[in-house]
Amino acid sequence: MKMEKNKSEKEKFFWADKIAEEIIKGRKGKKIYTCASGIGVSGTLHIGNFRDAITTDLVVRALKNKGKKARFIYSLDNFDRFRKVPANILEKRRKEFENYIGMPVSEIPNPFGKGKYTEYFENIFIEELKKVNVKPKFISQSFMYKKCKYAKLIKTALEKRKEIMNVLNSYRKEPLGNEWYPLSVYCEKCKKDFTKILSIKNYEIEYECTCGHKSKFDFRKKGIVKLKWRVDWPMRWFYEKVDFEPGGADIGAAGGSMMTSDKIVKEIFHYESPFHTYYEFVSPKGVGGKISSSKGNALTISDVLEIYEPEIVRYLFVGTRPNKGFEISFDNDVIKIYEDFDELERKYYLKEVNPQEKRIYELSMIKVRKKKPERVSFRHLITLVQTGKTNKLGKDAKKRIQNVRKWLDKYASDDFKFEIQEKVNEDVSLSDKQKMALRELRKILEIKDFKEEELLNEFYNICNAVGIKGDEFFTAAYNVILNKNRGPRLATLILTVGREKIIKLLKQI
């Protein structure tokens, strides 16, 4: 009895709800909770970046479900330096883009058209997030730094430079030297950070650059400084009053940027560090090298949305705890994932779900409907699409059809691809018993319309009557209808294609 109670208690808690409870308990009395995510915009934003965003999105939803006010901010770290030319830059432009190394990424031109480098990648990612119903408030760090929004906190970091160095040095093999500063200066002439700080007095910085330029400026008035990552991150936690931010497992390791940031925000900015959860990485399964190399071989939300409906993209992440890595399947497992989702949906509307399953379904949906959506299974659509029988399907099925077509075109194995033959291929070789069995099948189909299970029973009656093994019969039928040794469920195939067309083929035996 006690075990049953414990099981029941466990089912009440979804992982995001647990995190929300911890935040509420640890940050008592707050009127609004701030949850944050962010990404350095150095190139194509991939599915791992999405895991960061959706983890935060789900915690925000959990807080709101508990009656709390919560906001989701997403930092676009587009004032970082351009470190290297990514793989998706055309070869003929690589030398040009090597000249931009050291500049803020927000200042670099778009390699694929008009506008700026970061705007191109940011806009794609923002639109992708909208499709899966993740809509944070985006904060451009280029804007914030250029408008000198952090000037007072930058001054604090400079004044407490030694204390910051002590925190960082406690995790370094080689300690930072006395010439180290917690910020970089972008040269006013060449716009690069190949600069050396000569002196700092109050808000005034004097610097010189390897390009030969030398100058003084007030960083309350000129936004050309950038705090270094391990100082920038905790500074923004304080500025935005962040209560929760997830991070990849790598940055959560001992001495990683999360640990040092937690110490810096407490010791330098006197703010309690946010709650964290650490997530493992996501990788593709079954892509066979087909993800475009023009994207630097990064798996994007758009790549996933080609195959999965937005609700199922969410479902993959909602149903997997952040600290558990997983593969997003593009192979035959796609069918099983769709079946699992459809079964969860069926149980939800029949009120057969446990509390945790209920949360997973509701958080997966873009919008929970009053009535169950009219789905057609992915597996059945594979047959309908390839037999041209999709015209009479409803709105929900037609959306899914686009995913089926893409999957068949890009990732499906040959076992799932077929084409209905107009005539029996002359290379098809059948035994006498196989021919006899197919002739019996023709006679049966000429009698009446069958339901699927009735037709399946007739197959086995034919095999018993002719004295042929089931696999020999099915192979013969597939050879004639598809010119293949196997295919989708035969009864389904025949009823989908239509008796008349199958009878026409069988008459050629």
**What is the distance between the alpha carbons of residues 377 and 433, in angstroms, rounded to a whole number?**
35
Tokens representing 414 are 């040959």
**What is the distance between the alpha carbons of residues 43 and 473, in angstroms, rounded to a whole number?**
55
Check the CA dihedral 165-169-172-177 and report its sign: positive
Which strands make up the sheet holding 32-40, listed edge to edge? Answer: 32-40, 69-77, 137-140
Q: Report whether pLDDT(150) > 70.
A: yes
pLDDT tens column, 357-384: 999 999 999 999 999 999 999 999 999 9
Q: In which element (H, E) is residue 154 found?
A: helix 151-159
pLDDT at 508 (0 to 100): 95
pLDDT tens column, 414-439: 999 999 999 999 999 999 999 999 99
- The amino acid present at 239, given as its one-letter code, is Y
- Report which of 428, 430, 451 is spatially closest to residue 499, judged by C-alpha positions: 451
Distances in Å between the Cα of 222 and the Cα atoms of 186, 203, 209 are: 10, 10, 17
Q: Report whether pLDDT(303) > 70.
A: yes
**What is the distance between the alpha carbons of residues 30 and 68, in angstroms, rounded to a whole number?**
9
Q: In which element (H, E) is residue 455 found?
A: helix 452-466
φ, ψ (nearest 5 deg) of residue 35: -115, 135
Please answer whether residues 17 and 359 qualify as being in contact, where contact means their C-beta atoms are separated by less than 8 angstroms.
yes
Residues of the chain above pLDDT 90, percent: 88
pLDDT top residue among 88 and 499: 499
φ, ψ (nearest 5 deg) of residue 75: -85, 125
Q: Report whether pLDDT(474) > 50.
A: yes
The residue-averaged pLDDT of 12-27 equals 92
- The amino acid present at 212, given as its one-letter code, is G
**What is the distance between the alpha carbons of residues 124 and 302, in angstroms, rounded to a whole number?**
9
Give the pLDDT band of residue 6 (cuts 50, 70, 90). very low
Q: In which element (H, E) is residue 199 found?
A: strand 195-201
Please answer whether residues 259 and 265 qualify as being in contact, where contact means their C-beta atoms are separated by less than 8 angstroms.
no
Distances in Å between the Cα of 485 and the Cα atoms of 24, 324, 428, 467, 474 are: 60, 40, 10, 20, 8
- The amino acid present at 259, given as its one-letter code, is M
pLDDT at 288 (0 to 100): 64
Strand, helix or coil at 185?
strand
Alpha helices (runs of H) in 223-277, residue ranges in sequence order? 229-240, 257-267
Residues of the chain above pLDDT 70, percent: 95
pLDDT at 296 (0 to 100): 54
- Report which of 220, 206, 238, 201 is spatially closest to residue 151, judged by C-alpha positions: 220
**What is the distance between the alpha carbons of residues 187 and 194, in angstroms, rounded to a whole number?**
8
Give 308's Cβ-side CA count (13 Å radius): 31
Which distant-in-sequence residues (6+ apart) come within 8 Å of 322 by Cβ? 15, 51, 55, 246, 277, 278, 279, 280
How many residues are given for the chain?
A: 509
pLDDT at 251 (0 to 100): 87
Q: Report whether pLDDT(473) > 70.
A: yes
- Report which of 74, 88, 86 is spatially closest to residue 129, judged by C-alpha positions: 74
Domains and CATH numbers, the chain: 13-175+228-279 (3.40.50.620), 283-380 (no CATH), 420-509 (1.10.10.350)
- Report which of 41, 190, 182 is spatially closest to residue 101, judged by C-alpha positions: 190
Lowest mean pLDDT of 46-55, 190-199, 295-304, 396-405, name the range.
295-304
Q: Taking all residues of the chain, what is their mean pLDDT, rounded to a whole number?
A: 93
**What is the distance between the alpha carbons of residues 208 and 85, in angstroms, rounded to a whole number?**
26
pLDDT at 475 (0 to 100): 97
Q: Provide DSSP, 424-439.
A: --TT----HHHHHHHH
The string over 126-163, giving b where at least 16 C-beta atoms fall within 10 Å of a residue's C-beta and e elsewhere, is bebbeebbbebeebbbbebbbebebbebbebbbebbee
The residue-averaged pLDDT of 329-340 equals 97
- What pairing do the DSSP bridges indicate for beta strands 69-77 and 32-40? parallel
- The amino acid present at 398, given as its one-letter code, is K
**What is the distance between the alpha carbons of residues 317 and 50, in angstroms, rounded to a whole number?**
9
pLDDT tens column, 204-222: 999 999 999 999 999 999 9
**What is the distance between the alpha carbons of residues 327 and 314, in angstroms, rounded to a whole number?**
14
pLDDT at 289 (0 to 100): 53
φ, ψ (nearest 5 deg) of residue 243: -105, -25
pLDDT at 87 (0 to 100): 81
pLDDT at 116 (0 to 100): 93
The residue-averaged pLDDT of 126-151 equals 97
The residue-averaged pLDDT of 340-354 equals 98
pLDDT at 316 (0 to 100): 96
pLDDT at 347 (0 to 100): 98
The residue-averaged pLDDT of 99-114 equals 94
pTM of the predicted structure, to 2 decimals: 0.90
Q: Report whether pLDDT(399) > 90.
A: yes
Tokens representing 125 are 């990612």
Give 461's Cβ-side CA count (13 Å radius): 10
- Report which of 450, 455, 441, 461 is spatially closest to residue 491, judged by C-alpha positions: 455
